[in-house]
Amino acid sequence: MRKAVLTLTTLLFAIGTIGSNIGPALVDERPKLVLLLSSRNRNLFGAVPYIDLFSYSVIGFTRVLIAGVALFLVGRWYGAKALGWVEGNMGELPAIYKWLERAVDKAGAAMVVLMPGSNIVCLLVGHRKMSLKKFVPLLMLGIAIKLAVLWRGGKMFEEQIKDFLELYREISMVGCRLFIYSLITTVSP
């Protein structure tokens, strides 16, 4: 079971990275694919003008729930080792980790609802031994609130999202052209 969860977590991280990187380029044409790959807040928000509410809710909810539970279990099973590894490689934990540790210790349930799907919060509440029976309903509530807020915000700013994505693409194309030009001029004698 542990190897399967670690494999799942690794897979989710890999496809999440891909989804985050290609999200702005594909969200208008393939919003479902982008959300399946990565249901980060920016992708959830950016997908609103291009997806129906049912698909948005099912895909976003499921993707965040699976990642949250997997990270909770990793935190439960490997939390001390993972935090020790980070601390060993960095000398000490970054301030945000220390702040989140204190917040989870004082108000773990509230943190799960307020920051559903946060990698570090899910890891920490698992590590701090919150029960799975308590964690899952809190996570589900937090995801539902998050999706509702992002959907509503996305509807309010639908035109601005579309305009931003168009500008993003134009800037990306200029950047790609400059990169290719620099490669050609560097390689040519």
- Does 174 fall in a domain? no
Residue 34, classed as helix, strand or coil, is helix
- Does 186 fall in a domain? no
- Does 184 fall in a domain? no
- Does 181 fall in a domain? no
Q: pLDDT tier at 178 (50, 70, 90 boundaries)?
A: confident
Global pTM?
0.84
For 20-55, give one letter per residue: b (16+ CB within 10 A) or e: eebbbebbbebbbebbebbbbeebbbbbbbbbeeee
Q: pLDDT tier at 88 (50, 70, 90 boundaries)?
A: low
Residue 151 domain boundaries: 2-156
Instruction: Please say if the pLDDT value at position 72 is more than 90.
Output: yes
The total of other beta-carbon atoms located within 10 Å of residue 74's CB is: 22
- Does 167 fall in a domain? no
Joined together, the tokens standing for residue 75 give 């935190």
Averaged pLDDT of the chain: 89
What's the domain count of the chain?
1
- Does 130 fall in a domain? yes
In angstroms, rounded to a whole number, what is the distance separating the alpha carbons of residues 146 and 121?
15
- Does 74 fall in a domain? yes
What lies within 8 Å, CB to CB, of 35 at 6+ separation is: 19, 43, 44, 47, 51, 56, 59, 60, 63
Instruction: Please say if the pLDDT value at position 90 is more than 70.
Output: no
The total of other beta-carbon atoms located within 10 Å of residue 79's CB is: 18
Instruction: Please say if the pLDDT value at position 139 is more than 90.
Output: yes
How confident is the model over 175-180, as a mean pLDDT? 81
Nearest Cα neighbor of 65 from 111, 1, 12 is: 12
**Predicted pLDDT of residue 44:** 96
**Predicted pLDDT of residue 76:** 92
In angstroms, rounded to a whole number, what is the distance separating the alpha carbons of residues 159 and 156?
8
In angstroms, rounded to a whole number, what is the distance separating the alpha carbons of residues 52 and 80?
41
- Does 16 fall in a domain? yes
Instruction: Please say if the pLDDT value at position 188 is more than 70.
Output: no
Question: Among 33-42, 93-102, 142-151, 159-168, which stretch is predicted with the lowest mean pLDDT?
Answer: 93-102
